[in-house]
Amino acid sequence: MRADEEASSANDGRNYHRIPMTSATTVIVADVITMDRANPRAEAVAFRGGTVVAVGRRAEVCARAGPHSTVIELEGTVVPGFIDPHHHLFLVAADRWGWRPPDLAPRSIPALLAEIRAIAAADDDDGWLRIHGYKPLALAERRSPTAAELDSACEDRPLLVLGLTYHESSLNSLGLARLGWHHATPDPPGGRIVRDRRGRPTGVVIESASLIAEATSRSTLIRPDSAARWSERARRHALVLAHAGITRIGDAAVPPVGMSLYDDLVSTGGLAVTVHRFPVGESAVSTPVTDPLPTTARKNDLTGAARAPVGPAKLLADGGERCALCMTGRQVLSSVVSTVRYTLTRGLRVATIANRGGRATRGDDHRYYTGMRVLDDDGLHDSVTRLAGHGMQVAIHAIGNAGVEASLGALEAAAGTLAGLPGAPRLEHAMILDKPLVERIAAARVRVVTQPVFLRDLGDELAALPLPRPLRLMPTRSLLDAGVVVAASSDFPAASLEPLTGIQTAITRRLRDGSQVAPEEALSPEEALRLYTTSAADSLGLTGRAGVLSEGADADLVLLSGDPLATDPERISAIRVLKTWVAGRLVVGETTSHDRA
C-alpha cells in the first residue's frame, strides 16, 4: 500500500477521493473547522487548482500532498469562506459617494443638508447627484427631508437622497421634474409619491416609487464613458468583502446593464470574490426581469464554476419598512396599544410610527391588512410561472407575513416546475411569521435567507411596530426546528456586512442598546456559523461545493484570530480576519514563510 493510501485509510475510516497531487498543492496547517458533519475538525487542509483535495490530520494530509507541496503553518482557526447570499454590490458600486456605517449617518435634517452641500461642492459631474445612507426614524425630525429642504442644499441639479434600505428616499424639485412627477401623477403600483394637503409631491417617495427614482438616476450615471468608475468601485468593494472573510455573495438585484458590467469586470480578472448575479428588470429593481438568459448557459453558471454565475431571478412581494402584514381584529387592537406605549415611552408622536404601517383595511378573509404590496397576487403568480418556465429559479423578497403567504402561494403553484431546476426557491427576509406559516415554509421546502444583523443595526426601527402574538420577529430557531434550511446574509448596504457580527447577533439576539428581542429564537454558535457557510451555500444551489472544507469543494478559506465556536458569544465580533483565500488564491493577508513537506 502506498503512503497516500495508508494516510487515507487511517483517517478515521474516511476515504479520500483519488485526486492526483502535483507540486502546486498547498497545505494549510492550523486548527480547522470544516463544517463537514462527518469530519468536523481537522489539523490540515490541502488544495490544488482552486479545489480542496485533502482534509484531516496533519501527517495524513501532508502524506497525501506529496513531497513537493507547499506547507504553511498558521496560528488561528481556519473556517470555510463566509458566504453572503443576499448582498447589493452592484448598487453600492453605482454610488460614487459610497457607504458609511448606520451609526455614522446624519442625525438631523440640518446635518444631512450640510453633508449634501459639501458633497455637491466636491462632485465634478453635472448630472444626477445621489447620496445614500440616511435613516428616516434616526433623524431628529423622524421623517425624510422634503424637496424644498433639499433645494436649499442643492437646487441646480437633480438630487436623490436614498434611505439606508432604498425603500424610502427624497428628491429635490429638479429631481421630481426629471422624473415627470407632479400633482396629477398617479402613484406607481406598489409605491407612493407622498403629497401635501394640496396634492403636490413633497419630494418623499416610498417603495416602488423610491426604486424607480433609484433606477432613473442611476441610468444617467452608468454610461459607456463611466463604466470604468463602476468597475473600480466594484473591485474595491470586492476586496472589502474579502477582508471581512467573505468569499462569495449573491448580488440580489442586478439589472441588464449590470449583467454586462459584470461580464466586462470578470473578463479583466477584477473580482476578488465570486458573485452570483440575481437578474431584475431595467426600469427598477422591483420590476421582474423580462429577458431571461438561455437555459443552457444559466444551468452551467449555476454550477458555480464561473466567477460571476447567474443566480435566481429576484422578485418583490412587499415593501421594506412598510412590509405587508395581515392580522386578526384582536391582533390589530393589541398592535395599536403596543404602538402607543412604545411611542409614549420614547417621546415620539404616535402618528409618526403608525403612519409607516398605513391604515388597516379589512380583507375578504375578515383579516386586516397593513403595509404595501409591490407585486400583487396575480403579478407574483404570473412572474414565478413565467420565470420557472424559462428555467429560472426565483428568490422572493417577502418581509411581512402577508407577503410571505402570497409568495408561498405562487411558489406552491409552480412547485413542480421549480423542483426540476438547479437550486431551490428562496424567501428573502421572511421576518414576521407565526407557527403555521413556519410549518408551511417547511412543507414547501423553500429556503429562507434571513439577516440577523438587522437586529443590531436596525433594531430601533424594527421595534417601532411591536408585533402581536403569535407573530414573531425573525424566528430563526422556530424555522430551524421545523426543518427549514435557513441562510444568513447582510442585505448590505442596508446593514453591516461583517459575518462575525451577524453570527454574534444570531446567538445573542441583542440590539445596540444591549436589550434582546425574542431570545427564545437564539441559535447555538455552530448553528449560527452554518447560516453563513453550509446553509448559505445551499441557498445558492452549491451544497457540498462551497461553505464547507471537504474534498472536491472550492478552496475558499478564511483564517481567523480565534475560534468562533469556543469564543464568548458576546465577543465573536471582535475576532479578526487574518487571511482569505478565494479558489485557492490568497487575496487577503501577506504570504507566510513556509516549509516543504
Peptide bond into 564 cis (omega under 30): no
pLDDT tens digits for range 21-30: 444 799 999 9
As a whole number of angstroms, the distance between CA 112 and CA 523 comes to 38
Extract the C-alpha cell encoding 316.
418583490
Is the predicted pLDDT of residue 10 greater than 90, yes or no?
no
The overall average pLDDT reported for the chain is 88
Is the predicted pLDDT of residue 553 greater than 80, yes or no?
yes
Label residue 106 by pLDDT band (50, 70, 90): confident
Is the predicted pLDDT of residue 13 greater than 50, yes or no?
no
8 A C-beta contact, residue 159 and residue 129: yes
**Which pLDDT score is estimated for 343?**
64
Which amino acid, 155?
E
Q: What is the CA radius of gyration of the chain?
A: 24
User: Comparing C-alpha atoms, which of 181, 218, 217, 220 is closest to residue 201?
Assistant: 181
For residues 111-138, average pLDDT: 91
**Which pLDDT score is estimated for 591?**
59
Is the predicted pLDDT of residue 136 greater than 60, yes or no?
yes
Residues 6+ apart with CB under 8 A from 253: 88, 90, 91, 278, 280, 285, 314
The HSE-up count of residue 21 (CA atoms within 13 Å, CB side) is 25
Q: For the packed helices 227-243 and 256-267, what is the interaxial angle rounded to 10 degrees?
A: 70
As a whole number of angstroms, the distance between CA 557 and CA 189 comes to 44
pLDDT tens digits for range 451-500: 999 999 887 777 656 688 899 999 999 999 999 999 999 999 999 999 99
pLDDT tens digits for range 297-355: 444 444 444 789 999 999 999 999 899 999 998 888 877 766 666 666 655 554 554 55
Is the predicted pLDDT of residue 223 greater than 80, yes or no?
no
pLDDT tens digits for range 224-278: 667 888 999 999 999 999 999 999 999 999 999 999 899 889 888 889 999 999 9
pLDDT tens digits for range 158-196: 999 999 999 999 999 999 999 999 999 999 999 999 999
CATH of the domain spanning 87-219: 3.10.310.70
Which amino acid, 348?
L
User: Comparing C-alpha atoms, which of 525, 463, 458 is closest to residue 490?
Assistant: 458
Label residue 395 by pLDDT band (50, 70, 90): very high
pLDDT tens digits for range 417-463: 999 999 999 999 999 999 999 999 999 999 999 999 999 988 777 76
**Which pLDDT score is estimated for 300?**
42
pLDDT tens digits for range 66-99: 888 999 999 999 999 999 999 999 999 998 876 6
**Which pLDDT score is estimated for 14?**
33
3-state secondary structure of 492: coil
For residues 382-399, average pLDDT: 96
**Which pLDDT score is estimated for 339?**
66
As a whole number of angstroms, the distance between CA 536 and CA 423 comes to 12
The HSE-up count of residue 241 (CA atoms within 13 Å, CB side) is 34
Count CB atoms within 10 A of the CB of residue 232: 13
Is the predicted pLDDT of residue 47 greater than 70, yes or no?
yes
**Which pLDDT score is estimated for 229?**
87
Unique residue bearing C-alpha cell 435557513? 486
Burial class (CB in 10 A: 0-12, 13-18, 19+), 350: middle
Return the domain boundaries, the chain: 3-81+549-596, 87-219, 325-368
Extract the C-alpha cell encoding 38.
462527518
Q: Give percent of the chain above pLDDT 90.
A: 74
Pinpoint the alpha helices (H) of 346-462: 350-357, 377-389, 401-413, 415-419, 435-443, 453-457, 459-462
8 A C-beta contact, residue 217 and residue 158: yes
As a whole number of angstroms, the distance between CA 430 and CA 441 comes to 10
Unique residue bearing C-alpha cell 451609526? 103
As a whole number of angstroms, the distance between CA 417 and CA 429 comes to 23
Task: Answer positive or negative: Cα dihedral of 567, 569, 571, 572.
Answer: positive
Unique residue bearing C-alpha cell 398617479? 186
Label residue 513 by pLDDT band (50, 70, 90): confident
Is the predicted pLDDT of residue 402 greater than 60, yes or no?
yes
Residues in the chain, how many?
597
> How far are the Cα atoms of 39, 342, 401, 434, 475 from residue 470, in angstroms, in the given order?
39, 19, 11, 6, 11
> How far are the Cα atoms of 243, 480, 525, 565, 577 from residue 560, in angstroms, in the given order?
11, 26, 15, 12, 5
Laid out side by side, the sheet with 274-279 consists of 82-87, 246-254, 274-279
Is the predicted pLDDT of residue 594 greater than 90, yes or no?
no
For residues 526-549, average pLDDT: 97
C-alpha 322: how far from its chain's center? 18
pLDDT tens digits for range 564-577: 999 999 999 999 99
Is the predicted pLDDT of residue 581 greater than 60, yes or no?
yes
> Domain 3-81+549-596 sits in which CATH superfamily?
Urease, subunit C, domain 1 (2.30.40.10)
Topology match between the domains 3-81+549-596 and 87-219: no
